[in-house]
Copies of this chain bind each other. A is one copy, B any other.
Amino acid sequence: MSTKPKSPARPPSSAVEDYLERILGLINTKGYARVVDIAQSLDISQASVTNMVQRLDAEGLLNYEKYRGLVLTPAGEALAKNITHRHELLTDFLKLLGLDDAVIYHDVEGMEHHISPPTLRAIEALTAHLTRQPSLLARVREQLDAN
């Protein structure tokens, strides 16, 4: 059987992607993701996190037991890994250009939600090739530092 389409199945919102990305990150580093952890990590109130977690449960992206905890479903984990991949690839690309880490983080956190698969693949390929062209990168950074 195929996965059941809850509705027309809109693409996940930026907020949903950010929650899933962070939940996966917390699970990978702490072993679990409690409401209070997610709230601190995203700088959002616990009440808002509870609300979103219940919604993600209803949408089949995670299993949530009230007052207990949560685990990502296969669908939720797939989305989480996907957004994480976009985040990492964009970060790698911008690092090549010698940008400040804080700037990179801020911009990536927004842009990651608007990159389609073809664009992602293109930037991935470009990043790989640029890594083998330190001379070109050096010239780019040189021009940037000159202002």
A interface, CB within 8 angstroms of B: 94, 97-100, 103-104, 106-107, 109-111, 113-116, 118-119, 121-123, 125-126, 128-130, 133, 136, 139-140, 143-144, 147
User: Which residues from B are CB-within-8-Å of A129?
Assistant: 136, 139-140, 143
Give the copy number.
Answer: 2
Inter-chain CA distance A124–B104, complex, in Å, is 16
Q: Is the CB of A118 within 8 A of B140?
A: no
Closest to A120 in B: B107
Inter-chain CA distance A113–B144, complex, in Å, is 22
Q: Is the CB of B100 within 8 A of A110?
A: no
Enumerate 24 A-B pairs (CB-CB under 8 Å) in ascending A order: A94-B119, A94-B122, A97-B123, A97-B125, A97-B126, A98-B122, A99-B118, A103-B119, A107-B114, A107-B115, A107-B116, A109-B114, A110-B111, A111-B111, A121-B144, A121-B147, A125-B140, A125-B143, A125-B144, A126-B140, A129-B139, A129-B140, A130-B136, A136-B136
- A34 → B minimal CB distance (Å): 29
Inter-chain CA distance A139–B136, complex, in Å, is 15
Inter-chain CA distance A84–B109, complex, in Å, is 21
